[in-house]
Structure 1
């Protein structure tokens, strides 16, 4: 057994407990794992995003929904390619006897997995007031339907799977078990949520020529269908600027101020302004990585900041994830894990007063207004000195300086000309 992690497939967060209005999220970031056999052939490939929420009863006979994040260090001791009687297994163990395991079985010409999620309510750091103490395991089929052998299961939409008091939201999935000779198939089985139902398109109409018409003529027996009305352009309001923060035992550990707007180009363009009055901030703070999650209703954006170790440590925004739940069966997702934006020195904040546009994918963009952010080394819950993106430098300062230099040069030439004429006139008088 040799589970391998791609460089984008590491779990990104340290173990952390987040409580927010009694409800939080257990979030696994970009699981990207290969399980290999003794011959170094891949038998299982799994790439997915997973959210898990757990509802439990407290000693006070009330209920809480708790969430925790996987640590960076994980154990894969139970992962195996299986044998003649059992299929491949991916086993992830962490913390105090918590585990997430998916075991695959072959059925006729198809394969299907079974997820076993075990959480330990005896872990007082995560479940400090749990009434029921011990290990609790839930299980559920995944994918929900068997997948044809030698095909890759793909699902970009979010699938919500509930079992007892645990809800697992799984999306951005690329999955294959029982790989033929260790090679991933180029044939996909797509989940129902990703299938776009289309209707037959009408026959193309000939180009129209618009001219004055004679209303006395008879109406054609088969008139052309009317032109669809032009879309009404509704001006988009700039989002209000909100201030957000994360806290640890020492006080504020992450500060952010921004106006946030999502611009999604799907079948119907969608523009979403985040309302600071209803937006909830959550996430985690670390020495090398911090995460800010902004959630407004059914829209969520994850900002991942990391520190680059150079001579002078500098932080930057390196990953953005967008999730918009349109309906029970339609969820929009996009991620960019190769950003290099909002760069500043650790111990400083980053500020940009001009409107910025971040491209997550070609169809998903974010417009940011009045930005100020400090994801590391916050002191006394206050922003440090800001490193400005300085739009004035880009747009105004250089032309102004060039113009001033030219004006100064012209002035010197004129002064030299005037003084030169005066000197010649004095010389003529003496002569």
Structure 2
């Protein structure tokens, strides 16, 4: 009776193993292939952009990498998706205008049919400037309708007239619920330029925090070394005192 039971058990194990093998083979051959996730774009290249006034002198300068993040309706996927696109300096031309209270930088990527406009405003009372408006218009392939996003009540990139605003770290500037702009290694001066050179840079909080972290870590390590050294000297002194007592 025991001999028959073992045979039955071996037969059942064989059937179970065969079923698992057939299931895996079926899944491998008949299951639809999974699509690879889209590769995000690389870090955008840093471009040099400028605006000249009526007499030919430079009134605005910007050096930065720009990345557009926007929610669009995809025709191919038939759903709303987030699209990320870098602005390519070699394909982008800059234009704009300047006056005492406002400076506009318009960036046009002709092959990709993209227009990005940045408006800086000056507060004559405080002698401070800031990025006050951003607008984007574009016609991209695989997007059901033309893109049009704007916001005229922003308060980013605050600086002092006659100086440039600098931020080496990546910043995300939320423009609308559907559109944000990432800046990389940014330096901009929209007012009171002297020649074609940036004024003294005022660094953003992100850069200051990035510099502060190594200082804090270094100070902590130095404090730890000091504590260990003091503990060692105290222990050594007690050890010598013990030998003298004996």
TM-score, scaled to structure 1: 0.42
1:269 corresponding residue in structure 2: 82
- Picking from 320, 338, 344, the partner of 2:134 is 320
How many angstroms apart in 2 are the aligned matches of 1:271 and 1:413?
Answer: 51
Q: 1:358 and 1:228, CA in 2 relative to 1: closer, same or farther beyond 3 A? A: farther
1:88 corresponding residue in structure 2: none
How many angstroms apart in 2 are the aligned matches of 1:396 and 1:313?
Answer: 27
- Picking from 104, 122, 128, the partner of 1:307 is 122
2:147 corresponding residue in structure 1: 332
By how many angstroms is 1:342 displaced? 1.0
How many angstroms apart in 2 are the aligned matches of 1:344 and 1:396?
Answer: 20
Residues 1:259 and 2:65 aligned together: yes
Q: 1:273 and 1:399, CA in 2 relative to 1: closer, same or farther beyond 3 A? A: closer
Q: Deviations over 1:38-96 (max 9, x none)?
A: xxxxxxxxxxxxxxxxxxxxxxxxxxxxxxxxxxxxxxxxxxxxxxxxxxxxxxxxxxx
By how many angstroms is 1:399 displaced? 5.7
Q: 1:381 and 1:338, CA in 2 relative to 1: closer, same or farther beyond 3 A? A: same
Q: 1:420 and 1:377, CA in 2 relative to 1: closer, same or farther beyond 3 A? A: same
How many angstroms apart in 1 are the aligned matches of 2:88 and 2:144?
Answer: 25
By how many angstroms is 1:235 displaced? 3.8
Unaligned runs of 5+ in 2: 1-18, 24-30, 73-79
How many angstroms apart in 2 are the aligned matches of 1:336 and 1:356?
Answer: 17
Report which of the two has the higher share of helix: 2
Q: How many residues align?
A: 209
How many angstroms apart in 2 are the aligned matches of 1:212 and 1:251?
Answer: 77
SS at match of 1:407: helix
By how many angstroms is 1:422 displaced? 4.6
| Residues 133-282 of structure 1 mapped to structure 2, 5 A cutoff | 214=22, 229-248=34-53, 249=55, 251-266=57-72, 267-282=80-95
By how many angstroms is 1:269 displaced? 3.3
2:105 corresponding residue in structure 1: 292
1:90 corresponding residue in structure 2: none
By how many angstroms is 1:299 displaced? 0.5
Unaligned runs of 5+ in 1: 1-210, 216-225
By how many angstroms is 1:408 displaced? 2.8
How many angstroms apart in 2 are the aligned matches of 1:283 and 1:243?
Answer: 14
TM-score, scaled to structure 2: 0.71
Runs of 4+ in structure 1 off by over 6 angstroms are: none
Q: CA RMSD in A?
A: 3.4
When Rg is computed on C-alpha atoms for both structures, the one with the higher figure is 2
Q: Deviations over 1:12-41 (max 9, x none)?
A: xxxxxxxxxxxxxxxxxxxxxxxxxxxxxx
Q: Which has the higher contact order (CA 8 A, sep 6+)?
A: 2
By how many angstroms is 1:385 displaced? 1.1
